[in-house]
């Protein structure tokens, strides 16, 4: 299975997500469009603890609220899923993903504030949560950006796309910038 990778400029922080999970997020985006949606990112960390390894994503829980330019992720069913992963030692909460339909994948002030709160929260046990934002048209021309938020820091670190050997996802070309899309479909 092929991964999509993002790394900080100094290579201190990385994120790898399975192509299958990116496709799953795009399906969630298609289903909710033209409304925003989101979910959580689950997985583990590399042995060096410098890279989040995302292998599972969720859609919006049933108690989520959404509109054309806002989204509040619900919680129903997530704690049971997280507890099961924890008990089986199969993964952790790594962060959030979010969709801006027909917009840019730029974090809003609400997105930033939420991820800063998660980084500080002892309940999440995630001092460096990841935020993946998808924007545009999930069926035709979409873009994606990835950010990392550190506990104790008001700034965020944008992670840049690292192309794989093929240089493309199975469902679209990859731009060498932190943003990539599938506008050839």
Task: Establish if 25 belongs to a structural domain.
Answer: yes
Average pLDDT (104-122) is: 93
Q: Which of 134, 151, 141 is nearest to 71 (CA)?
A: 134
User: Does residue 178 form part of some domain?
Assistant: no
Does residue 121 lie in a domain region? yes
Q: SS3 for 5?
A: strand
What value does the mean pLDDT of the chain take? 86
Residue 183 domain flag: no
- Going by C-alpha positions, the residue among 122, 99, 127 that lies closest to residue 39 is 99
pTM recorded for the entire structure: 0.86
Domain limits for position 24: 3-173
What residues does 70 pair with on adjacent strands?
Answer: 67
How many domains are contained in the chain?
A: 1
48 found inside a domain? yes
How many Å apart are CA 61 and CA 29, to the nearest integer?
Answer: 14
- Does residue 184 lie in a domain region? no
Would you name the residues annotated as active-site residues? 36
Q: What tens digit of pLDDT does each residue of 21-61 get?
A: 999 999 999 999 999 999 999 999 999 999 999 999 999 99
Q: Kindly report the CATH number assigned to the domain that includes residue 62.
A: 3.40.140.10
Start-to-end Cα distance in the chain? 22
> Is position 133 within any domain?
yes
Extended beta strands in the chain, E state: 3-7, 14-18, 37-45, 51-57, 65-67, 70-72, 92-101, 130-136, 142-149, 156-162, 168-169, 172-173
User: 37 with 29: CB under 8 angstroms?
Assistant: yes
Q: What angle do CA 119, 108, 159 make, to 5 degrees?
A: 60
Alpha carbon 15 to chain centroid distance?
9
* Interval 60-98: pLDDT, tens: 999 999 999 999 999 999 989 888 888 888 889 999 999
Assign 165 a pLDDT band (cuts: 50, 70, 90): very low
* pLDDT value for 125: 85
Measured distance CA(74)–CA(58) in Å, rounded: 11
CA–CA dist 97, 102 (Å, integer): 16
């Amino acid at each position: 299975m092929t991964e999509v990778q993002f790394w900080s400029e100094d290579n201190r922080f990385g994120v790898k997500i399975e192509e299958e999970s990116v496709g799953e997020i795009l399906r969630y985006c298609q289903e909710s469009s033209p409304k925003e949606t989101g979910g959580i990112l689950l997985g583990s960390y590399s042995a060096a603890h410098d890279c989040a390894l995302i292998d599972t994503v969720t859609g919006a829980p049933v108690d989520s609220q959404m509109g054309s330019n806002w989204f509040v992720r619900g919680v129903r069913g997530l704690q049971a899923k997280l507890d099961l992963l924890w008990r089986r030692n199969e993964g952790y909460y790594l962060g959030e993903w979010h969709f801006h339909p027909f917009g840019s994948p730029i974090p809003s002030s609400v997105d930033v504030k939420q991820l800063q709160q998660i980084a500080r929260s002892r309940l999440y046990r995630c001092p460096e949560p990841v935020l993946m934002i998808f924007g545009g048209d999930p069926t035709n021309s979409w873009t994606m950006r990835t950010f990392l938020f550190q506990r104790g820091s008001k700034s965020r670190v944008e992670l840049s796309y690292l192309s794989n050997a093929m240089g493309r996802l199975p469902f679209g070309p990859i731009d060498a910038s932190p943003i990539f899309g599938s506008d050839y479909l």
